[in-house]
Amino acid sequence: MWIAGSQYGPNPLNFAHQRQQGEQMQQRIGFIGLGIMGQAMAANILKAGFSLTVYNRSAERCMPLAEIGAHVAATPQAVADASDVMILMLTGPEAVDAVLHGESGLLAGACKGKTVINMSTVPQSCSQQLNQQLQGRGITFVDAPVSGSKIPAQQGTLVILAGGAESAVQALEPLLLSMGSRVIYCGEAGCGSAMKLAINLLLGTMMEGLAEASHLAEASGLSSATFLQAVAAGPLACGLFRIKEEMIINGHYPPQFPFRHMAKDMQFVQQAAADRGVSLPVGSLLAGMFDPNAPVALLDQDFAAVKCLLQ
């Protein structure tokens, strides 16, 4: 494993690295999927000086990026024709499949010799299959989901969890670091996706723990603000709890990482555990809490709204 963007990554003063970065900046980037995360990530690519072409199924989401210099494509195929590196930031395997293989899909365009980076959260097996499929078409594949939600995406401080050929990931560092503060090389294709599911299992566990602990504190006559102040003062302090503090205190959960996405990811975690014969007692309970069949009003809120399920 190596980590770019930290003391373990390349020296930014190294001439060879600077030359590689300059060459990468000449590449044409395509970005497909402009949701809560994708909108901010694409904007940061533009701010870093890359040429960018964007596509989203709902075309109006492209307009803010067009206003700051992005080209807007009418189809995924047009993104492929206009780009050297194509990034997918979609809701899951079905959306990825539709973008690749649907009418005027990405693979209908000029993709041979180019690179596809899937930053969507999908099962490890899905990334492995994509790698095999795209390699057969002469396309380099990297799976690079991210750790972080809306605010880190806006600030460009996401952690990029990358899998694929190590040389390919290294070559993409300038692009990836335009969206994040760290690139962690996890291993061969699929390892980035496996890392993301492990990270999200921990994320869900921490959020449910915070929800239950604050629920108990409130039931015991303590204010949420005082409880969170005590948490922040000691060794339990962490960035996640700080980001969710206002939500817990006010009981309002505007989506940074929607509940529906965590619910989807927890089903992927359960399937990964079943495939590998791994016991996840808490993970199994979490999959029941983060239910993809929950009411839409809950699914559309931030995943911190899991606290609403406590009685």
Token readout for 246 is 């206002």
Catalytic residue status for 150: no
Eight-class DSSP state of 269: H
Please say whether the dihedral angle defined by the alpha carbons of residues 172, 173, 175 and 181, taken in this order, is positive or negative: positive
Q: Give the active site residue among 150, 196, 244, 307.
A: 196
What CA–CA distance (Å, rounded) separates 179 from 43? Answer: 9
| Residue 168, SS3 per DSSP | helix
What are 241's two structure tokens? 């709890």
Helix then strand count (H, E) for the chain reads 15, 10
The H-or-E segment that residue 117 falls in is strand 115-118
Nearest to 102 by CA among 69, 137, 79, 75: 75
Q: Is 275 exposed, middle or buried (0-12, 13-18, 19+ CB in 10 A)?
A: exposed
Given a contact cutoff of 8 angstroms between Cβ atoms, the answer to whether 105 and 98 are in contact is yes
Alpha-carbon torsion, ordered 136, 163, 155, 82, to 10 deg? -10
Active site residues: 196
